[in-house]
Structure 1
Amino acid sequence: ASFSKTQKLGNVEDTAAFALETETGAPVQILLCWRTQGTHLDGQLTVVGSKGSLKVQPWEGIRFESEAKTVARTFFQDGSTIAERALVGIQGAIQEFVDSIRQGRLPEPRPEESLTSQSIIEEAYRTQCLAG
């Protein structure tokens, strides 16, 4: 993992890059960045396989491309604001939390899954500190 302070925001990491390998040897690269003040929200997940590629842009839509065809779908109405788009994304998470309380069950994702994510982040920091 590597971290940088590209936006000169002081002691804040605004970029994180991870290079991982799955048990089957497939490479995985993850790049996370804060957006620059005043710019649009961006983000994407690209999965490249032997039969095509899938690009997920959370603030826009999805696109699957293969030799045979291309399929695309947008998530939001044209002209919707960042706040409107964020509300769509968080409504399901809030509803799941409320439902779990009402039904007397643990929410999905479960708390221990969130702790696993936190452990991965902390290990990346630890590894970076050891690398100097």
Structure 2
Amino acid sequence: MRAMPAALVLALAMPPAMAQAPAASGWEAQAAAWAPALTACLAGQGRAMVVEAWAEGAALTARLLLPEGGRQDCLVRGGAVLARAPAGPKRPGEGLRAFMMERRCVDAWRVVDATGREVGWLAYPGCG
């Protein structure tokens, strides 16, 4: 019997929940840093998820996909929601990734802050 390469052994030993999101180039690359703002926008919105986010000076806008299928823009600054409004026009790349508070599918990636604390999950919108 041949020995398995160490990298394969580690990959097989790591449970899916411990997997980290692959390197990202879109808004999701900031998900850990933006987690307090994203969490504030998701509060009280049921099983909504963030499908796009962008910074506007000191504020952040999170585009939410609501449980009933509607879309909402949430403006937040300093962890406080300033405004909620119907979503504007679809942005390029919107909906390729989704940030959510709980793991809803097996291939979701855990988002952790600088201390290693879980702050949410990244997946695709169909996950939830």
Q: Which has the higher contact order (CA 8 A, sep 6+)?
A: 2
TM norm. shorter chain > 0.5: no
Q: Which TM-score band applies after superposition, normalised by the shorter structure?
A: under 0.3
Larger radius of gyration: 1
Higher strand share: 2
